[in-house]
Amino acid sequence: MKTKGLLIGLGLLACAWTMPSIAANGSKSKFGITVQTCQFDMDNDDFCSDAMMKKFAHVMQSRSANFVQNKLLYIYQGKYFYRMVVMNQQRKTVQPFRWGFKPAEQAVNAQGEKLVFEFDRQSPQFCVYGNIEAYRDSYSYEDGKPFCFVYTGTGNDAGFERFKF
């Protein structure tokens, strides 16, 4: 019995070594704000660069909350994808979202747009009509099916649960 348990345990350990990493790296405070995650493994965007932190500090001061729990969602063009961060203006914190967003190959609405974000102050849901990407974890838009993330305020992914169709 112990041998089977050991073999199963070693098998699980071997699987863990081959799974892609989505670990977050560090935090940094500067310009009156704290960015809680500087970079995700295998990601080219540095959320803690001086340029990004200056931009985040400016956005935090110049814009009003636009999402539930008095949060500010800020979407911008990163190195390769559109990126989103969740800002807490009271605490002066910025939490990057690990998913990147790219336009779909086809239009996602009647206006012919290929990338659309839906969110508001009344719902904890953030939806993307387009493609989503994270290291080794990419999904393409399928007709009429957005990727929707529910904000819980906890967890490692800027407070969002994994997406739902």
pLDDT in tens, 131-154: 999 988 899 999 889 999 999 998
Query: What mean pLDDT, rounded, does the chain reach?
Result: 86
Of the candidates 122, 120, 126, which has an alpha carbon nearest to the alpha carbon of residue 82?
A: 126
- What's the pLDDT score for residue 93? 97
- What's the pLDDT score for residue 165? 67
The mean pLDDT of 7-36, rounded to a whole number, is 59
Instruction: List alpha helices for the chain, DSSP H.
Output: 2-18, 50-62
Report the percent of the chain where pLDDT is more than 90: 71
Query: What's 70's DSSP letter?
Result: G
Number of H helices, E strands in the chain: 2, 13
Whether residue 15 has pLDDT greater than 90: no
40-68 per-residue burial string, b: 16 or more CB within 10 A, e: under 16:
beebebbbbeeebbebbbebbeeeeeebb
- The 10s digit of each residue's pLDDT in 58-93 is 999 999 999 999 999 999 999 899 999 999 999 999
E strand or H helix that includes residue 91: none
- The 10s digit of each residue's pLDDT in 96-113 is 999 999 999 999 999 999
| Higher pLDDT pick, 40 / 21 | 40
- What's the pLDDT score for residue 26? 82
Q: Which residue has the tokens 């050991």?
A: 6
- What's the pLDDT score for residue 25? 64
- What's the pLDDT score for residue 154? 86
| CA 70 vs CA 111, 149, 160: distances in Å | 30, 17, 15
